[in-house]
């Protein structure tokens, strides 16, 4: 049996696949948060960054397909390991319910995973495909003229005056919808719980956790999860409460000005 085959056929291999794909997805959600946090900056930032990603063309779709594959493998490995665990226990329940001593994160790992999966499907339909929230999606297709040059890692990417898609307004108006923001907040909270236990399992599977480093790794995990939760809560929270106003000259400012006092849509 090949090494590649062992990854999919053995329980140890499936645990390894879960850990590696989980690590890939943690990197993605972290980068996704960093990109969304640009909503607090000038529209040039997020619009320039989005234009850079869109300009990658086939490479961007290759990354998207790789991420979808990672999600699929992660879910398949989790379901398979769960079924194996149930078969190993047999039909008779344990005399003592050991799950009582388990953490809340580990106890509801599968439930949080399913909710997060549903959110990913909705998020893609809303912001990428445009099936859900069609009006918000159309906002992305609105034009925005760059006010300054956009640089990424010191390299010029988008020139001043260039016309790009108004992704800033798409994100702003998306989170201005209380229903969308409410579902987002719920999903992010459950994803944070999922990450809290997932990191522990990842460290254990990859052999990174030891008696010496266990406490430190746990502290890093908790701090990361808190920072991730706070960053994601800040975006819809600031928009819904009006702490952040849409930048003047954007589609978001124009649309909100049409349904609210002019002062609400100005900085």
Two structure tokens written together for 264: 């609400």
Give the whole-angstrom CA distance, residue 180 versus residue 34.
20
pLDDT, residue 99, reads 42
Q: Whose structure tokens read 């599977």?
A: 205
pLDDT, residue 227, reads 94
**202: Cβ contacts below 8 Å, ≥ 6 apart:** 19, 22, 23, 208
Three-state DSSP class for 151?
strand
Q: What domains can you pick out in the chain, each with its CATH number? A: 3-265 (1.20.1300)
Residue 245 CB-density burial (10 A; 0-12 exposed, 13-18 middle, 19+ buried): middle
* Alpha carbon distance, N-terminus to C-terminus of the chain: 64
How far is C-alpha 2 from the geometric centre of its chain's CA atoms? 34
* DSSP letter for each residue of 158-201: E-TT-EEE-HHHHHHHHHTSHHHHHHHHHHHHHHHHHHHHHHHH
* pLDDT one digit per residue (tens) for the chain, 267 residues: 566 666 677 777 788 888 888 888 888 889 888 888 988 999 999 999 888 888 888 898 898 888 888 888 888 887 787 777 667 665 555 444 444 444 444 455 566 666 666 666 666 655 555 444 445 545 555 788 889 998 887 888 899 989 888 888 888 888 888 888 888 888 888 888 888 877 777 777 766 666 667 778 888 888 999 999 999 999 999 999 989 888 887 888 888 777 655 444 444
> What is the pTM (predicted TM-score) of this model?
0.77
């Amino acid at each position: 049996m090949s090494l590649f085959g062992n990854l999919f056929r053995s329980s140890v291999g499936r645990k390894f696949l879960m850990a590696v794909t989980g690590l890939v997805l943690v990197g993605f959600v972290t980068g996704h948060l960093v990109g969304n946090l640009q909503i607090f900056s000038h529209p040039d930032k997020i619009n320039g960054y989005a234009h850079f990603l869109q300009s990658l063309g086939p490479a961007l779709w290759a990354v998207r397909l790789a991420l979808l594959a990672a999600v699929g493998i992660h879910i398949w490995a989790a379901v398979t390991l769960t079924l194996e665990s149930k078969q190993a226990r047999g039909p008779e329940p344990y005399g003592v319910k050991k799950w009582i001593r388990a953490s809340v994160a580990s106890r509801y790992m599968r439930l949080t995973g399913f909710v997060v999966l549903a959110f990913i499907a909705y998020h893609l339909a809303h912001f990428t495909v445009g099936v859900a929230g069609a009006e918000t999606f159309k906002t992305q297709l609105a034009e925005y003229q760059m006010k300054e040059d956009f640089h990424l890692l010191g390299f010029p990417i988008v020139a001043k005056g260039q016309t790009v898609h108004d992704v800033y307004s798409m994100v702003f108006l998306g989170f201005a919808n209380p229903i969308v923001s409410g579902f987002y907040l719920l999903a992010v909270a459950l994803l944070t719980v999922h990450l809290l236990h997932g990191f522990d399992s990842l460290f254990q599977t990859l052999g990174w956790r030891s008696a010496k480093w266990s406490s430190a790794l746990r502290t890093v995990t908790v701090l990361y999860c808190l920072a991730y939760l706070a960053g994601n809560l800040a975006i819809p929270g600031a928009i819904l409460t009006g702490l952040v106003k849409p930048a003047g000259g954007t589609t978001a400012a124009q649309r909100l000005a049409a349904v609210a006092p002019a002062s609400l849509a100005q900085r």
